[in-house]
Amino acid sequence: MIGPRQCGKMTLTREFLPEDSVNYFDLEDPISLSRLDEPMTALATLQGLVVIDEVQRRPDLFPMLRVLVVARFMRAGFLF
């Protein structure tokens, strides 16, 4: 999701997925960051909507996310 800062992107996202969901990652939060120490392990088994807020803080995730987005076994969609 792209838009200027403070325009309500994450407020809109929270209509679909609460912040306390296991599928929600806020990369400004140290706990979320640590959950993605092994990103393939953390993300590959998730189902439904997966939100990664502030994904630009971990550009190393993009190649792995591309693999997951196109994977036939994946039962999740990603919003970042």
Residues 15-56: tens digit of each pLDDT: 888 888 999 999 999 999 999 999 999 998 999 999 998 898
pLDDT of residue 51: 93
- Long-range (24+ apart) CB contacts under 8 A made by 14-21 are 16/49, 16/51, 16/79, 17/49, 17/51, 21/51
64 Cβ contact list (under 8 Å, min separation 6): 39, 40, 43
Tens of pLDDT, residues 1-10: 777 778 888 7
Predicted model pTM: 0.84
Neighbours of 35 (CB within 10 A): 16
Q: Which amino acid is at 62?
A: F
